[in-house]
């Protein structure tokens, strides 16, 4: 059983694609917890009609604040923090949990455009996606255009996803991709909730896990499961120009919490070789 936690503000077109792929390709039973940040385009109603647990905020709140809301509402012992602007791979949950078990991990992410098995492959995918996105999204930012971009990027999504899983299986590399983060309740007990002062709280989680590993050794750092690839549309939320966060006044930068020396130490393995 998995608790899937996703925060949204409007973006009905991308939300429809997200839920379609989630329903089609999630293997294990799950609860979907949607934190709706005062959507006005029918998004809130859409998720309610499709059986999600919807937490209704009266304003747009930051990433860590909403993720903690989801954690507190969750029933299960595996948490999957998914961006709404992704399409999940077939059996994404089954495969990442298998990789976590095989590598004794409590925190893991998928791979994707942002981070793959090497710098060269990551650059190749990034350049290809940028060309496709810039051409199509220049003309239209509709459900149709998002689907077309995905089709042009991957062709047959099932075959692409299966080929990656066949190639990499349960292989993992240390690092972090923030659009799909999975961790166990044990990790929550050891690391605590998301730091609500930091919008980049997913990277803060990566740093905290590495720090805990180095100082106590009772949890491994975060790893990327190379056999599980979720597509991320990237910057869709920012380009939609959401309202300023209701809790913006309390936010600090990652660099305000961690010194340059700490970040250099804890982030040094978050680089593809």
Question: Does any domain span residue 102?
Answer: yes
Its domain, for residue 216, covers: 2-117+158-267
The secondary element (H helix, E strand) that includes residue 207 is helix 201-215
Look up the pTM and report it.
0.94
Question: Does any domain span residue 122?
Answer: no
Residue 208, CB-side half-sphere exposure with 13 Å CA sphere: 20
Question: Does any domain span residue 141?
Answer: no
pLDDT at 273: 39
Q: Percent helix, strand, coil in the chain (nearest 5)?
A: 45, 20, 35
Q: What's the structural domain count of the chain?
A: 1
- Between CA 189 and CA 183 the distance in angstroms is 11
Question: Does any domain span residue 213?
Answer: yes
pLDDT at 150: 95
pLDDT at 147: 94
From first to last of its 273 residues, the chain has per-residue pLDDT tens of 999 999 999 999 999 999 999 999 999 999 999 999 999 999 999 999 999 999 999 999 999 999 999 999 999 999 999 999 999 999 999 999 999 999 999 999 999 999 999 999 999 999 999 999 888 866 667 899 999 999 999 999 999 999 999 999 999 999 999 999 999 999 999 999 999 999 999 999 999 999 999 999 999 999 999 999 999 998 766 555 788 999 999 999 999 999 999 999 998 777 543
Q: What is the CATH number of the domain that holds 58?
A: 3.90.550.10
Question: Does any domain span residue 125?
Answer: no
pLDDT at 141: 72
Tokens of 190: 């050891």
Question: Does any domain span residue 152?
Answer: no
List Cα–Cα distances, 43 to 16, 23, 31, 35, in angstroms: 9, 17, 18, 11
Q: Which of 234, 239, 204, 208 is nearest to 221 (CA)?
A: 208
Question: Does any domain span residue 37?
Answer: yes
Question: Does any domain span residue 178?
Answer: yes
């Amino acid at each position: 059983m998995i608790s899937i936690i996703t925060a949204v503000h409007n973006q009905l077109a991308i939300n429809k694609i997200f839920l379609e792929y989630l329903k089609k390709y999630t293997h294990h039973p799950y609860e979907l917890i949607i934190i709706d940040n005062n959507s006005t385009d029918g998004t809130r109603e859409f998720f309610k009609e499709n059986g999600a647990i919807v937490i209704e905020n009266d304003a747009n709140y930051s990433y860590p604040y909403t993720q903690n809301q989801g954690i507190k509402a969750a029933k299960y012992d595996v948490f999957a923090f998914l961006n709404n602007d992704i399409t999940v791979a077939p059996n994404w949950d089954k495969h990442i949990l298998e990789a976590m078990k095989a590598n004794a991990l409590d925190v893991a992410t998928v791979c994707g455009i942002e981070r793959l098995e090497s710098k060269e492959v990551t650059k190749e995918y990034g350049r290809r996606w940028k060309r496709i996105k810039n051409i199509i999204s220049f003309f239209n930012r509709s459900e149709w255009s998002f689907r077309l971009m995905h089709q042009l990027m991957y062709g047959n999504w099932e075959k692409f996803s299966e080929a990656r899983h066949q190639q990499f299986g349960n292989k993992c590399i240390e690092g972090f991709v923030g659009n799909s983060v999975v961790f166990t309740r044990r990790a929550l007990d050891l690391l605590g909730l998301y730091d609500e002062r930091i919008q980049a709280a997913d990277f803060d989680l990566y740093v905290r896990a590495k720090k805990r590993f180095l100082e106590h050794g009772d949890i491994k750092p975060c790893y990327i499961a190379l056999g599980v690839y979720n597509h991320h549309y990237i910057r869709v939320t920012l380009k939609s120009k959401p309202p300023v966060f209701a809790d913006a006044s309390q936010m600090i930068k990652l660099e305000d919490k961690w010194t340059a020396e700490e970040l250099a130490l804890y982030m040094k393995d978050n680089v593809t070789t």
